[in-house]
Amino acid sequence: MVSDTLDFGHITLIARPLIVCDIDEVVLEFLTPLRNFLNSSGHDLLPRSFRLHGNIVAIENGEPVSETQTRTFLEEFFRQQDQWQTPANQVVETLADLAKNADIVFLTAMAPRHAAMRRALLDRHGLHYPLLASEAPKGPIIQRLHDARDVPLIFIDDILRNLQSVRACAPDCLLINLIANAEFRAMAPHPGDGILTADGWTQTAEIIRQHLR
């Protein structure tokens, strides 16, 4: 498994709650910067449904680009992520406050070849928490990271399959669905029972603090 190749050596966890955060559209803005990036090359991301494929179009004629071109755009966007992405609203101060009582680890669904740039981008904005980058399912990664520690576990992500993966591997984990972009958040599928939704970092922090009381 890809997760078996991850290096956990830079992560030190102590006997207190663990908060694991996805990055794109949770810690860093993703959809708005991606749209700006696409605009710079004559394309656009239309908020028609909660997906990328089929919603990236040529501005000139409104025609959707192919799935291959979509993947090419994403690869180039991540290659230039430090020029486009910025922290989500209130994330820096909220995580700093939560870190007083919990360990925080970032888990990004990203090819490891882009991880060094992502690390530098996060550090630039004072988000110095440990980072794991993997395209493997997130459930087994978090299960291995948390191990058998008897402390609360919280996972925050914008994508339902990632939340479901963690629920399957860590059933006692508090799961929070957070999507920074309001337009796309409104079109997201309901995550279902056992997964809480938040409309921003203020509400996310309130959910976490209530859970940890």
Helices and strands (H, E) in the chain, number of each type: 9, 8
pTM assigned to the model: 0.95
| Domain at 2-29+86-212, CATH from 3.40.50.1000, 3.20.20.150, 3.10.180.10, 3.90.1260.10 | 3.40.50.1000
Predicted confidence pLDDT, tens digits, the chain (213 residues): 444 468 898 999 989 999 999 999 999 999 999 999 999 999 999 999 999 999 999 999 999 999 999 999 999 999 999 999 999 999 999 999 999 999 999 999 999 999 999 999 999 999 999 999 999 999 999 999 998 899 999 999 999 999 999 999 999 999 999 999 999 999 999 898 899 999 999 999 999 999 998
Rounded CA-CA distance 196/109 in Å is 21
Coil, helix or strand at residue 106 = strand
Rounded CA-CA distance 79/111 in Å is 11
CA–centroid distance for 56 within its chain: 21
Q: Residues of CATH 3.40.50.1000 domain(s) within the chain?
A: 2-29+86-212
Encoded tokens for 57: 């179009």
